[in-house]
Amino acid sequence: MADDATTDPALRSWVPGADDSGFPIQHLPYGTFSVAGDHPRAGVAIGDQIVDLAVAARAKLFDAVLHDPVAAFRGPDLTPFLALGPAAWQRVRAELSDLLRADSTRSRPMGDALVPQADATLHLPFAVADYVDFYSSLEHATNVGRLFRPGADPLLPNWRHLPVGYHGRAGTVVVSGTPVVRPAGQAAGPEGPVFGPSRRLDIELEVGFVVGTPSLLGRPVPPAAVREHVFGAVLVNDWSARDIQAWEYQPLGPFLGKSFATSISPWVTPLAALEPSRVDARPQEPPVLPYLRVDEPWALDLHLEIGLRSAGMAAAGTPFDVISRPDFARLYWTLPQQLAHLTVNGASLRTGDLLASGTVSGDRGDEGSLLERTLGGREPLRLSDGSERTFLADGDEVVLRGSAGGGGRPRLTLAEVTGTILPTHR
User: Cα–Cα distance between 299 and 282 in angstroms, integer?
Assistant: 8
Instruction: Assess 291 for contact with its own copies (CB under 8 A).
Output: yes
Q: Can you say how many angstroms the Cα of residue 146 is from the centroid of all Cα atoms in its chain? A: 27
Q: How many CB atoms lie within 10 A of CB 66?
A: 18
Instruction: Assess 115 for contact with its own copies (CB under 8 A).
Output: no
Which of 19, 248, 372, 416 forms a contact with its own copies (CB under 8 A)?
A: 248
* 392 HSE (CA, 13 A, CB side): 31
Instruction: Assess 62 for contact with its own copies (CB under 8 A).
Output: no
Which of 17, 218, 312, 365 forms a contact with its own copies (CB under 8 A)?
A: 218
Which of 23, 209, 231, 260 forms a contact with its own copies (CB under 8 A)?
A: 260
Instruction: Assess 286 for contact with its own copies (CB under 8 A).
Output: yes
Instruction: Sort 147 into a burial class: Cβ within 10 Å, 0-12 / 13-18 / 19+.
Output: middle
Query: Could you tell me which stretch among 75-83, 114-122, 151-159, 410-418 binds its own copies (CB under 8 A)?
Result: 151-159
Name the residue nearer to its own copies (CB basis): 248 or 305. Answer: 248
Instruction: Assess 230 for contact with its own copies (CB under 8 A).
Output: no
Residues 325-354 that bind its own copies (CB under 8 A): 341-342, 344-350, 353
Rg (CA), the chain: 22
Which of 76, 90, 130, 321 forms a contact with its own copies (CB under 8 A)?
A: 130
CB of 167 to its own copies, least distance (A): 4
Calculate ∠ Cα 210-337-157, nearest 5°: 125
* 13 HSE (CA, 13 A, CB side): 27
**116 DSSP assignment:** E
CB of 374 to its own copies, least distance (A): 21
Amino acid at 94: A
Options 140, 229, 303, 341, the catalytic residue: 140
Instruction: Assess 59 for contact with its own copies (CB under 8 A).
Output: no
CB of 157 to its own copies, least distance (A): 8
Instruction: Assess 147 for contact with its own copies (CB under 8 A).
Output: no
H helices within 183-268, ranges in order?
A: 226-229, 242-248
Instruction: Assess 381 for contact with its own copies (CB under 8 A).
Output: no
Instruction: Assess 217 for contact with its own copies (CB under 8 A).
Output: yes
Instruction: Assess 192 for contact with its own copies (CB under 8 A).
Output: yes
**424 DSSP assignment:** P
185 pairs with which residues across the strands?
A: 196
User: Cα–Cα distance between 250 and 242 in angstroms, integer?
Assistant: 13
User: Cα–Cα distance between 123 and 79 in angstroms, integer?
Assistant: 13
User: Cα–Cα distance between 354 and 167 in angstroms, integer?
Assistant: 10
Name the residue nearer to its own copies (CB basis): 337 or 413. Answer: 337
Instruction: Assess 167 for contact with its own copies (CB under 8 A).
Output: yes
Instruction: Assess 289 for contact with its own copies (CB under 8 A).
Output: yes
Which of 80, 253, 377, 395 forms a contact with its own copies (CB under 8 A)?
A: 253
Q: Is the peptide bond before 222 cis (omega within 30 degrees of 0)?
A: no
User: Cα–Cα distance between 368 and 361 in angstroms, integer?
Assistant: 5
Q: Is 140 part of the annotated catalytic residue set? A: yes
Which H/E stretch holds residue 231?
strand 230-237
Give the binding site for its own copies (CB under 8 A): 129-130, 133, 135, 148, 156-158, 161-162, 164-172, 174, 178, 181, 183-186, 188, 192-193, 195, 217-220, 241, 244, 247-257, 259-261, 286, 289-291, 341-342, 344-350, 353, 422, 424-425
Catalytic residues: 140
